[in-house]
Amino acid sequence: MQLNTAAKRNTMYWTLELASYLEDAPWPATKDELIDFAMRTGAPLEVVENLQQIEDDEEVFDTIEDIWPDYPTKEDFFFNEDEY
Each domain of the chain, given as residue ranges in start order, spans 8-67
Confidence band of 72 (pLDDT split at 50, 70, 90): confident
Q: Which amino acid is at 41?
A: T
Confidence band of 12 (pLDDT split at 50, 70, 90): confident
pTM value surpassing 0.85: no
CB within 8 Å of 71: residues ≥ 6 apart:
14, 19, 64, 65
Q: What is the pLDDT of residues 14-67, one digit of tens each?
A: 999 999 999 999 999 999 999 999 999 999 999 999 999 998 888 999 999 999
